[in-house]
Amino acid sequence: MRSPRLTYRPIDARDAGRIAALAGDWDVARMTSRIPHPYSLIDADLWIASIGDDEFVRGVEKDGELIGAVGYIAGEPAQAEIGYWIGKPWWGNGYATEAAGTLMAYCFGELGLRRLTCGHFFDNPASARVIAKLGFRRIGNGAQWCEARQSEVPTIRYARRRPLLGGWRRSAR
């Protein structure tokens, strides 16, 4: 996957230190469900090793430097839940929108998925803006466990269906 300013590649064990440093920042970890705080090198190693067959994770790179991650977890047939995080030094530059939008295009176009879901914690307005820019529709509220906060956190849930027409068609290979 590529986008105008970013490249995407599989994450491997060599990325653990960088992931621990970026995702371990309290302001990043507290806005995700699965990242603990503090987040050690061992935690990052364990997470990388645990990425399962039902998950797709790509490192997000800017000028060859890992700045975040984007991915999905497969759900019901032809559906997936997407997620993303960007390291704090790169916030405010539109990288989360670009990365999540590229993932969305991949899911709808290359994989032929029909529906994507996502969510954000109630106190994450930046992610709410990303999700709105990508055309997701609010489908409800709930609560989700946040490993960093060690508690259930109010969450807003969204869905987006693949458009019937347009540029989401599978590429011919």
Report, as an integer, the average pLDDT of 16-28: 97
pLDDT value, residue 172: 35
- In angstroms, how far is CA 90 from the centroid of its own chain? 15
The 10s digit of each residue's pLDDT in 46-96 is 999 999 888 999 999 999 999 999 999 998 899 999 999 999 999 999 999
Q: What is the pTM of this model?
A: 0.92
- Give whole-number Cα distances, 73 to 94, 151, 155, in Å: 23, 22, 18
Report, as an integer, the average pLDDT of 144-169: 88
Could you give the percent of the chain with pLDDT greater than 70? Answer: 95
* Token pair of 95 as six digits: 């990288």
pLDDT value, residue 167: 55
- Please state, rounded to an integer, the average pLDDT across all residues of the chain: 94
CATH architecture of the domain covering 7-161: 3-Layer(aba) Sandwich (3.40)
Whether the pLDDT of residue 132 is over 70: the answer is yes
Tell me the pairing of strands 115-121 and 79-86: parallel
The label of the residue with tokens 């997620």 reads: 83
Torsion angles phi and psi, residue 103, rounded to 5? -65, -45
* Token pair of 141 as six digits: 């509220």
The model's confidence at residue 171, banded by pLDDT at 50, 70 and 90, is very low
DSSP structural state of residue 51: -
Whether the pLDDT of residue 19 is over 60: the answer is yes
